[in-house]
Amino acid sequence: MKSYRKELWFNAPERMHFTNITHEIRECLAESGISEGLVLVNAMHITASVFINDDESGLHSDYKKWLEKLAPHEPVSGYRHNDTGEDNADAHMKRQVMGREVVVAVTDGNLDFGPWEQIFYGEFDGRRKKRVLVKIIGD
């Protein structure tokens, strides 16, 4: 069995932002030389997420509105975590809802997706560099 590891770095332009990283993951898969196995993609920061869904701007807008209703950024004084001087308690909660990672099957050298599935990096405390881990195992 072979193993491949790579870190991808992102700097989201906004506090909350979704980036389609499917192309980058496909490039990693090609670099790995693995044709049958699994791809793990996970956010390496506790205020970011990796998830799978449709690449549709209306859906992404809906996600942002929904997440802000679930865990509003303001008022920052409403969160005990922010008593430490932070202002990102909401980002931790949004990450918890959206998830840390995804695992995708690799079949015949391709990501084994259902219709419309794409991989996204979700940022909830952006405007600074953060990383995503890609780990591929298989033959």
Per residue in 101-130, pLDDT (tens digit) is 999 999 999 999 999 999 999 999 999 999
- Across the chain, which has 139 residues, the per-10-residue mean pLDDT values are 98 97 98 98 98 98 98 97 96 98 98 97 96 98
The residue range of the domain holding 95 is 2-138
Return the pLDDT at 48: 98
- Residue whose pair of structure tokens reads 């303001």 in the numeric block: 74
CATH code for the domain of 40: 2.60.120.460
Cα separation, 89 vs 83, in Å, equals 10
Predicted pLDDT at 49 = 98
E strand intervals along the chain: 2-11, 17-20, 37-43, 48-53, 101-107, 110-111, 118-123, 129-138
Note the pLDDT of residue 85.
94
The tally of domains found in the chain comes to 1
